[in-house]
A and B are shown apart, each in its own frame.
Chain A
């Protein structure tokens, strides 16, 4: 029986290999996957969108005409119409950067994310810029959870209003998602974050991820991180450090450092397993995409990712 399945798999892969001249892996029809006992989970992600509702003005020397929420939404809608299991995440710094934030306090940013059907987001340091009350005021517009596992909000108005993690199920595949935030002291004015306590992101991540793996039986574990990609010559916990010092995370969707990673970077974790770190620059110029191909019986995963430039 197993031999038979292997044989079929081989044929299936061969077909893809041959047809691959015209078909990217992302465009394998879902019914073909299903016939081979595989499921595709499509992860879309943004970070540091910084209140960029409109495209960058044409006069911008670097990003003229790029980005814009309307086009992002159109693109996301198109991908949703093509793919069965689409998840959409943001890694923080949703607020601050254009007058939309100064005038409306982040209301439109959050409303648009709800309209785009984001599944979850984490908080970046600039999401505290309107004060913790300013953020709390916009929360009712969010039809998705904010995942913050290493901020202790118990002595603030945000107490009980964020989650450590969430679990999303698609075709019996359990995807565990949690969020990590950066140290606020020295980065954000204390009058903005008030009595928020920051906990060590590395320790927190390993506890949460182990729980997602062992107790919650998650098949994929994703971290939404606003720690920053990498700090050379510093011991500060970054996504690069987290990836190497973790043991259960499969994918880190990063932010904060506005790093344009054309491709996610692969790291080896403590167990020697691969962890991918992705980040899409800033301002909504790009939409990141990572497709996990999952085989239910052996639990085998492969992935294919692409970054979509919105210009």
Chain B
């Protein structure tokens, strides 16, 4: 406490000099004064006027009825990671699985693999109850799923993008990345075939060139399967829960770094 008093006193003294100098300086200048952070916890803002809640309540209550639904129970905290993360793995696996179920009902060809963007994963998932509201926070955007028919040139650019970003969320594909390149690409356990066109599931944001993926704008054939990205996660979770299972995700080395 004593040192605090001293410090403040010395600030006061400094202030004198600045003010004296200030009177003959330019129109005005900003002097550097010590800064402080005020933590405010429940005890400092313990009371909130009920009139404030009145603004929020009608919106909150009707939304809460919908959003408090428990979709699944999670065995672990599921967060992002690099080059591979639990959240990236779960969301892209769910997207690919639900895309292919949708393909069955549309009677169109499956997607071979899927990719997403880490920046689009806005919130981690907690251990225990995963509510619908939480999934909205994880995936607040209204993006839809597209299947892109990609040729070798376009896929090369995509793989190089994976290298540059040190891994992105992927499903149905494995590859090794170094600082400069990639190798050992397998798709559904089969080595990558550069003569083939692959069907690749992703979201419309990336497909339209988002997150630096301008090269995806050149892809000629894109199929909108009319399924929202968020709904693919929700369907996957409900289905796990219906099988009386819990949500469990592992890192399986689908993207690994080599020297």
Residues on A lying within 8 angstroms of B by beta carbon are 2, 6, 9-10, 13-14, 16-18, 20-21, 24-25, 51, 53-54, 57, 59-61, 65, 69-71, 73-75, 77, 96-104, 108, 111-112, 115, 129, 186-191, 219, 250, 262-264, 266, 273-274, 276, 289, 294-295, 298-311
Contacts and interface: CB of A to CB of B under 8 A. Distances in A.
A190 B122 contact: no
Contact of B28 (A57, A77, A98, A301): A301
B212 A102 contact: no
Given A2-B23, A101-B140, A273-B29, A54 B60 contact: yes
Interface string B129-167: 100011011001110000000000000000000000000
Contacts of A189: 204-205, 208, 210
Contact of A21 (B5, B19, B41): B5
B22 interface: yes
Contacts of B136: 98-99, 102
Interface of B: 1, 4-5, 8-9, 11-13, 15-16, 18-20, 22-23, 25, 27-42, 45, 47-49, 52-53, 55-56, 59-60, 63, 66-67, 77, 79, 122, 124, 126, 128-129, 133-134, 136-137, 140-142, 204-205, 208-212, 214
A175 to B, nearest CB: 13
> Closest 7 interchain pairs by CB?
A17-B12, A20-B8, A299-B28, A300-B22, A21-B5, A263-B35, A99-B136
A308 B40 contact: yes
24 contacts: A2-B23, A9-B16, A14-B12, A21-B9, A61-B126, A70-B56, A73-B52, A77-B49, A97-B122, A98-B133, A99-B140, A102-B142, A129-B141, A186-B209, A186-B211, A263-B37, A274-B29, A274-B32, A298-B23, A298-B28, A300-B23, A300-B29, A307-B37, A309-B37
Nearest to A97: B140
Contacts of B67: 99
A113 B161 CA distance: 40
Contacts of A298: 22-23, 25, 28
A75 B45 contact: yes
Nearest to A102: B136
A302 B31 CA distance: 5
Contacts of B205: 189
Nearest to A60: B126
Contacts of A112: 55-56
A305 B45 contact: no
A96 B77 contact: no
Contacts of A299: 27-28
B45 A25 contact: no
Nearest to A115: B55
B8 A311 contact: no
Given A9-B19, A306-B36, 4 more contacts: A13-B15, A59-B128, A70-B56, A75-B45
Contacts of B212: 186
A20 B9 contact: yes
Contacts of B126: 59-61
A191 B53 CA distance: 36
Contacts of B210: 186-189
A274 B36 CA distance: 19
A185 B36 CA distance: 38
Contact of B41 (A190, A273, A307, A311): A311
A136 to B, nearest CB: 18
Contact of A17 (B8, B29, B39): B8
B28 A300 contact: yes
Contact of B56 (A53, A60, A103, A306): A53
